[in-house]
């Protein structure tokens, strides 16, 4: 561990190869000739294609793919290898969503969909793609690819089904070690199998199964179809609010104490849509008000660095009540420990927590950070990760947890982002009243593309995050730290509003600021006067959380800690 803040560093520039991509290192060596045959075969596919060469019938201009623009906000209709696929809000070609495939050294992030087709018939497959070595094709048939598309580029292939072929699988994928690719507005034009024109029946027995101040949960009886129902669209009035494959949904981002009307429509693979279900009305719960609102002034205290101060001494000198204690990391697999070294119980960390509580305070653990062996990548499934979080919660009977998600292993990894969000949803369900915080880096204008994705996926996965805390620093030496912090926070507020359909007040209440006292990693300076300005702005806008790195660096006067203690939200 280092004594600097576990903060985001600028991503290095990676050069792009002008040659066809290679297989990952662990597949090279004895498999070189296999690799060459693979590339040669791929080239042949692009030139010649597969499929029967009998005279094709004429295709109808109809897109057979479901969720072709990923506007449902999820991967319904698609199957992606190794949890590498996700839906993002930027960059997109059309609409508001697109597919992101996080290709790694061992996985091309292949996403596919199987559709019903007619034998001996011509079809055209196309997609808008962006990234390096993005492939589009038909399993067992023709394919095409682009080596480098810095902006969205259209790929198109045509193929003819065999004499007895009744289904086809279309796919997109990147290439080993070439990073994330994007795809949008995928289209397979041609007649569906049997030219299905029969719509499903309307879903029955739509009912409300739960409400909160900002969400409504619904369930319904399944619809029927002559071929098969592939999903359901939930409408709030005339606006599509959710798309799911099952018979339950939770609509989020609603206004407290407000009535809403909901209906549901079923859809099949051919794109036929059922009549609307009977309407049901739900009223969200009243806003819980100030007494239950999540407010936390919690500067970082790091027991793994240098000569950490006594927490009770700081509390007595400043009036601070909460600390963000850093850092919970992984040890020997998916096992939580302090700094990957110290056990959760029986050591200095537990003793410190007990002393803080005895003095009338409490702590929130910071799980993750910039460096070290983190639980997000170390735990292979959301359930395993939730189990690791639960060990920390149980060890200290916690009221809140903070996941500090940074660097390429967590923040810039779509699969790990989704794993963390799903795990947080699980622990919230299993621990009523637990508050969850996400801490992540930011630009001085607001979240970057990975931050935007994190927020969008939090909404799509119904993670129910209580606070989104940004780290507004490391913009560069000489930055206006007050102005940059306010600008970054306003950018986050606007993103939360557009994603969750919140008001300004609702968005501010879900925001946190985690600054850096004195000099940052890049030489910016936040003085006590500037931190006071930031605190006063945060109080005036009723944000939910204020923190800084770190109490260890606030000696001997504890000025920044005293200022933070004046945060009221």
Average pLDDT over the chain, rounded to whole?
Answer: 85
pLDDT of residue 413: 96
pLDDT of residue 78: 95
Average pLDDT on 362-370 reads 97
pLDDT exceeds 70 at position 47? no
DSSP symbols for 73-117: SS-TT-EEGGG-EEEESSS-SSTT-EEEEE-BTTB---EEEEEEB
Res. 80 pLDDT band, cuts 50 70 90: very high
pLDDT in tens, 250-300: 887 787 888 899 999 998 877 678 999 999 999 888 765 444 578 999 999
What percent of the chain shows pLDDT beyond 70?
A: 87
Residue 144 neighbours by CB under 8 Å, 6+ apart? 46, 135, 136, 137, 155, 156, 157
pLDDT of residue 20: 34
Average pLDDT on 12-21 reads 29
Mapping DSSP to helix (H, G, I), strand (E, B) and coil, where does residue 261 land?
A: strand
pLDDT of residue 96: 78
**C-alpha closest to that of 234 among 248, 255, 215, 214:** 248
**C-alpha closest to that of 168 among 143, 134, 146:** 143
Boundaries of every domain in the chain: 25-195, 204-283, 290-565
pLDDT of residue 28: 29
Whether domain 25-195 has CATH 3.30.565.10: no
**What whole-number distance in Å separates Cα of residue 567 and Cα of residue 556?**
21
- Whether 168 and 97 have beta carbons less than 8 Å apart is answered as no
pLDDT exceeds 90 at position 55? no
pLDDT exceeds 50 at position 370? yes
pLDDT exceeds 60 at position 565? yes
Res. 38 pLDDT band, cuts 50 70 90: very low
- Weakest mean pLDDT among 163-167, 400-404, 556-560: 163-167
**C-alpha closest to that of 70 among 493, 460, 340, 458:** 460
pLDDT exceeds 60 at position 45? no
Res. 214 pLDDT band, cuts 50 70 90: confident
pLDDT in tens, 509-555: 999 999 999 999 898 999 999 999 999 999 999 999 999 999 999 99
**What whole-number distance in Å separates Cα of residue 80 and Cα of residue 109?**
6
pLDDT in tens, 438-479: 999 999 999 999 999 999 999 999 899 999 999 999 998 788
pLDDT of residue 194: 57
Locus of tokens 């008001």:
503
pLDDT of residue 59: 35
pLDDT of residue 302: 96
Average pLDDT on 319-329 reads 97
pLDDT of residue 40: 35
pLDDT exceeds 90 at position 424? yes
**C-alpha closest to that of 93 among 180, 153, 155, 178:** 153
pLDDT of residue 213: 80
pLDDT exceeds 90 at position 358? yes
**What whole-number distance in Å separates Cα of residue 131 and Cα of residue 151?**
8
What percent of the chain shows pLDDT beyond 90?
A: 62
Q: Which CATH architecture has domain 204-283?
A: Sandwich (2.60)
Strands across the sheet containing 280-283: 239-244, 229-236, 259-268, 280-283
Average pLDDT on 98-105 reads 91
pLDDT exceeds 90 at position 118? no
pLDDT exceeds 70 at position 36? no
pLDDT of residue 254: 80
pLDDT exceeds 90 at position 220? yes
Fold classification of 290-565 (topology level): TIM Barrel (3.20.20)
Average pLDDT on 311-328 reads 96
Question: Radius of gyration over alpha carbons of the chain, in Å?
Answer: 26
**What whole-number distance in Å separates Cα of residue 234 and Cα of residue 264?**
5
- Whether 543 and 509 have beta carbons less than 8 Å apart is answered as yes
Residues annotated catalytic, as ranges: 406
Res. 97 pLDDT band, cuts 50 70 90: confident
Locus of tokens 């993005």:
134
CB atoms within 10 A of CB 53: 9
Residue 532, H or E segment: helix 528-540
pLDDT exceeds 70 at position 22? no
- Where does residue 505 rank: exposed (0-12), middle (13-18), buried (19+ CB within 10 A)? exposed
Q: What angle do CA 107, 69, 214 make, to 5 degrees?
A: 100
pLDDT of residue 453: 96
pLDDT of residue 325: 98
pLDDT exceeds 70 at position 12? no
pLDDT of residue 190: 78
Average pLDDT on 415-440 reads 94
pLDDT exceeds 90 at position 314? yes
């Amino acid at each position: 561990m280092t004594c600097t803040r576990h903060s985001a560093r600028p991503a290095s520039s990676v050069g792009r190869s002008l040659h066809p991509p290679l297989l990952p290192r662990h597949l090279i060596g004895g498999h070189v000739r296999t690799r060459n045959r693979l590339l040669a075969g791929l080239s042949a596919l692009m030139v010649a294609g597969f499929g029967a060469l009998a005279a094709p019938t004429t295709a109808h201009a109809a897109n057979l793919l479901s969720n072709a623009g990923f506007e449902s906000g999820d991967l319904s209709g698609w199957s992606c290898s190794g949890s590498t696929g996700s839906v993002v809000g930027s960059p997109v070609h059309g609409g508001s969503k697109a597919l992101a495939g996080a290709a790694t050294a061992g996985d091309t992030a292949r996403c596919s969909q199987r559709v019903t087709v007619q034998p001996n018939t011509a079809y055209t497959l196309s997609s808008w793609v962006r990234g390096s070595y993005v492939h589009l094709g038909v399993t067992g048939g023709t394919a095409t690819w682009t080596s480098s598309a810095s902006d969205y580029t259209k790929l198109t292939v045509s193929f003819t089904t065999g004499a007895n072929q009744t289904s086809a699988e279309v796919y997109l994928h990147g290439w080993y070690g070439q990073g994330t690719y994007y795809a949008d507005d995928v289209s397979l034009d041609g007649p569906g199998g049997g030219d299905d024109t029969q719509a499903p029946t309307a879903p029955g027995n739509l009912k409300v199964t739960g409400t909160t101040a900002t969400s409504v949960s619904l369930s319904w009886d399944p619809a029927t179809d002559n071929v098969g129902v592939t999903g359901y669209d939930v409408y709030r009035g005339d606006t599509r609010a959710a798309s799911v494959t099952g018979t339950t949904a939770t609509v989020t981002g609603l206004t407290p104490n407000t009535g809403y009307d909901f209906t549901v429509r079923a859809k099949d693979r051919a794109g036929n849509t059922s009549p609307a279900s009977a309407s049901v009305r739900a009223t969200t719960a009243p806003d819980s008000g100030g007494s239950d609102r999540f407010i936390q002034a919690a500067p970082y205290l790091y027991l793994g660095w240098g000569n950490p101060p006594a927490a009770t001494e700081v509390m007595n000198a400043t009036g601070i009540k909460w600390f963000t204690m850093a850092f919970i990391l992984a040890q020997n697999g998916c096992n939580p420990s302090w700094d990957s070294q110290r056990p959760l119980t029986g050591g200095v960390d537990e003793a410190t927590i007990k002393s803080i509580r005895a003095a009338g305070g409490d702590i929130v653990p910071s799980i993750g950070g910039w460096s070290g062996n983190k639980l997000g990548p170390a735990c292979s499934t959301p359930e395993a990760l939730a189990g690791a979080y639960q060990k920390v919660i149980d060890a200290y009977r916690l009221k809140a947890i903070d996941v500090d998600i940074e660097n390429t292993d967590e923040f810039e990894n779509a699969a790990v982002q989704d794993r963390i969000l799903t795990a947080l949803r699980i622990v919230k369900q299993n621990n009523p009243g637990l508050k969850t915080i996400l801490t992540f880096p930011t630009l001085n204008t607001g979240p970057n593309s990975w931050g935007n994705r994190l927020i969008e996926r939090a909404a799509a996965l119904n993670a129910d995050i209580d606070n989104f805390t940004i780290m507004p620093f490391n913009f560069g030496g000489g930055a206006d730290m007050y102005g940059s912090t306010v600008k970054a926070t306003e950018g986050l507020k606007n993103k939360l509003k557009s994603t969750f359909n919140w008001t300004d007040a609702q968005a501010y209440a879900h925001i946190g600021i985690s600054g850096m006292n004195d000099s940052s990693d890049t030489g910016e300076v936040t003085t006590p006067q500037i931190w006071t300005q930031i605190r006063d702005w945060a109080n005036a806008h009723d944000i939910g959380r204020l923190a800084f790195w770190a109490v260890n660096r606030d000696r001997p006067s504890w000025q920044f800690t005293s200022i933070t203690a004046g945060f009221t939200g």
